[in-house]
Structure 1
């Protein structure tokens, strides 16, 4: 048993030793040896231009895309939710009577004043207030231009983001103005 332990220690020491002899060269000697070996190529080819440095690992890579893929490029259309849009809020308060009265007043005013668009009115309760929204618009700019018309009569009107009724949205070519 004693000999077996010694034999295993000797085998472990031999197994952990290096298989090749270590050569202590300086950096200059290594460069000289490299340059002399590259000059002695049998075909007299210079391989220096094909070698890369660690610092330029990605500079020589050029991912070429085949022309067939470039020709098939199709412009993606942004899918739009038709129920997202803007409305004009003309009232926000705790009185349901005031909300209904203001909605009725707006319908009368819009029927007699607004030309090119017939806005719908929406009265609803969202805690803690009753609110009156008018109109349906997909673009914020169109909602702002309509709110400028509404503000002439309803001073507290402002544009809000809301769910809209796509059937009530005015056409892009519709010109909304007052009489």
Structure 2
């Protein structure tokens, strides 16, 4: 039995060695025969340069045609949803009594501080917090300006996207300032 295993193993070994050997001799890549130089005449060179292209030439004469419908300049303004806008959030917490107190204190402070615009206060619940928002603005920059004035008293005030009451949005001509 050992003899049979030895015979099978040696047969596989011989087949493996025979399979790895080269069947042909390698040819040297170094050919040292005479090399002929080829030169292009001036006439052939000018002929070839007429038909050669450069990468920059490919799109040099190409012009994109833009349809008339896309060339028209829009003069219509898109309709704007008057209920979309920004408010300033001055409180967010779990206690309704604290939210009501913050809103009342803000109203009292705003009545004595702001000129030109009296921001309305809104207390509402969005799970899991009660929030106090003030003001109604369509323009985020105007809401930021109010937020910067409010931050003197309420450091955590920040502008939030919200549904606004269009009637309470101040006109663009109204200047909001503090006394």
Q: TM-score, normalised by structure 1?
A: 0.61
* 2:110 alignment partner in structure 1: 110
* 2:174 alignment partner in structure 1: 174
- Aligned pair count reads 131
* 2:129 alignment partner in structure 1: 129
- CA shift for structure 1 position 156: 1.0
* 2:159 alignment partner in structure 1: 159
Residue 99 (1) aligns with residue 95 (2) = no
- CA shift for structure 1 position 111: 0.4
* 1:76 alignment partner in structure 2: 76
Measured in 2, the distance between the counterparts of 1:90 and 1:66 equals 51
**Structure 2 regions of 5+ residues with no counterpart?**
1-59
Root-mean-square deviation over aligned CA pairs:
3.1
Measured in 2, the distance between the counterparts of 1:137 and 1:167 equals 11
Per-residue CA shift, 1:71-130, capped at 9, x if unaligned?
x86512121110000000000000000000000000001100011101100000000000
- CA shift for structure 1 position 131: 0.3
Measured in 2, the distance between the counterparts of 1:130 and 1:66 equals 54
Moved over 6 A (4+): 59-67
SS of match in other structure, 2:98: helix
- CA shift for structure 1 position 66: 10
Measured in 1, the distance between the counterparts of 2:168 and 2:67 equals 47
Q: TM-score, normalised by structure 2?
A: 0.61
**Structure 1 regions of 5+ residues with no counterpart?**
1-58
Measured in 2, the distance between the counterparts of 1:147 and 1:65 equals 46
Higher mean Cα deviation, 92-101 or 74-83? 74-83
Measured in 1, the distance between the counterparts of 2:172 and 2:122 equals 22
SS of match in other structure, 2:77: coil
